[in-house]
Amino acid sequence: MLSYIIPFLILILVVVFIHEYGHYYFARKYGVGVTDFSIGFGKELFGWNDKSGTRWKICAIPLGGYVKFFGDRNVYSQADHQEILEKYNEEEREKLFILKPLYQRVLIVFGGPLANFLLALVIFFSIYTFVGKDFTPAVINEVQKDSPAMVGGLKAEDIILEIDGNEVKSIMEVSKFITMSTGEFIDFKVKRSYEELILKVKPNIVEGDDGLGNKINKRMVGIKLGAYNNKVNHVKLGPAQALYHAGYEVYFVSISSLKYIGGMIVGKADTSQLGGPIRIAKISGQVATFGVLAFISMMAYISISLGLINLFPIPMLDGGHLMFYAFEKVLGRPLSQKTQEGFFRIGLFLLLSLMFFTTFNDLKDLGLFK
């Protein structure tokens, strides 16, 4: 159990701290008072006050965190100002979040997800610079008999150039692109002799494991891959190249995640793979056994997911507050307090529903439900 809990706590502490520090950085930049910087919820385990009066603390439930602003009741978008303003003198009003210009409030709220994307960017950049990136072309060594690949027209010795429009720069990317596909057919662009072909392959969905012993539904096409000319091309990149490929990885994971979520909404993607804290804890513990590199890579992907989810236009998330600011920009005034409270109730219902669904999947994954 400790082998799961410790890696999970490290992962959550880092990813959540970076997210909340994004909010904190822009808040301090624009003179907003910060009373609390909390990692976790519930009872405070330990903490300290800094010279600016912020209470930095670690709390008992390590499933998130928050930054609380001076004079704020944990609502970024406060419509009814007058009651609050009467409580503060002119000097204190300078520290109030609700009185800052709209663009500053937007940057403070957006700062959290932005920090998550930057963390992933730094991790990928560091890996590509100091460890290297694989650029070994993917060649099909074998096409299994009567497999989807054979039916679709793939042949041995084909060099895979693209999958669903994504350029295959490495043999390592083939499995990733197939797994992230959501359509009924997967488009393969291959080089055969001197011509390029686009072939459609309808994958089989089979129950397998993810290499860590966890049961998942896999999209299988029935090919075995090898290195082009049996040569592995793994190189350390210079700063410019590393930054480009790191940026592309953050972009690809974000877009693929959005497509996958869209697929789940319309019923085309597998919702059984959607997990919550229990599954993250389990997988982070398993990944940690493969070493630091695998663990920090997972941290980058979790960080992207956290940043992306927080941008969803659901009240109670950063994206919900940004949605309110969009209304404020269009209308020229904030939405009424009553309207915002109505949105927050909807947001609470959606978040609780998502938590219930992911927890059910987690418990099912542990074998407690069939």
pLDDT tens-digit map of 117-172: 999 999 999 999 999 998 888 899 999 988 999 999 999 999 999 999 889 988 88
Instruction: Express as a percent the part of the chain with pLDDT over 70.
Output: 80
pLDDT at 197 over 70: yes
Task: Name the residue with higher pLDDT: 246 or 171.
Answer: 246
Nearest Cα to Cα of residue 155 among 192, 186, 185: 192
And the tokens for 59?
Answer: 């709390």
Pair of tokens at residue 268: 């085309």
* Average pLDDT over every residue of 175-196: 87
Helix (H, G, I), strand (E, B) or coil at 15: helix
Domain ranges in the chain?
2-130+302-365, 133-235
pLDDT band at 206 (very low <50, low <70, confident <90, very high): confident
Q: Which long-range contacts (CB under 8 A, 24 or more apart) does 69-74 make?
A: 69/27, 69/32, 69/33, 69/34, 69/35, 69/96, 69/97, 70/32, 70/33, 70/34, 70/35, 70/95, 70/96, 70/97, 71/33, 71/95, 71/96, 71/97, 71/98, 72/96, 72/97, 72/98
What pLDDT does 73 receive? Answer: 53
Q: Which helix (H) or strand (E) holds 317?
A: none
Say which residue the tokens 């912020």 belong to: 54
Q: Give me the pLDDT at residue 74, please.
A: 44
> Could you list the active site residues?
20
pLDDT above 80: residue 321: yes
pLDDT of residue 181: 81
The average pLDDT across 242-253 equals 92
Q: What is the architecture, at CATH level 2, of domain 133-235?
A: Roll (2.30)
pLDDT interval class at 351 (50, 70, 90)? low
Cβ atoms 168, 177 nearer than 8 A: yes
User: Side chain identity at 344, as an amino acid letter?
Assistant: F
Residue with structure tokens 């190249």?
Answer: 241
Query: Of the segments 19-33, 133-147, 207-221, 329-343, which one has the largest average pLDDT value?
Result: 19-33
Share of the chain above pLDDT 90, in %: 34
Residue 198: count of CB within 10 angstroms of its CB? 12
Contact call for residues 125 and 62 (beta carbons, < 8 A): no
Which has more confidence, 239 or 259? 239
The answer to whether residue 360 scores a pLDDT higher than 60 is no
- For residue 138, which of 226, 198, 240, 259 has the smallest C-alpha distance? 226
Prediction pTM value: 0.81
* pLDDT tier at 110, thresholds 50, 70, 90: very high
Under a CB-based contact definition with an 8 Å cutoff, are residues 166 and 252 in contact? yes
- Name the pairing type of β-strands 223-227 and 138-143: antiparallel
Q: How many residues does the chain have?
A: 370
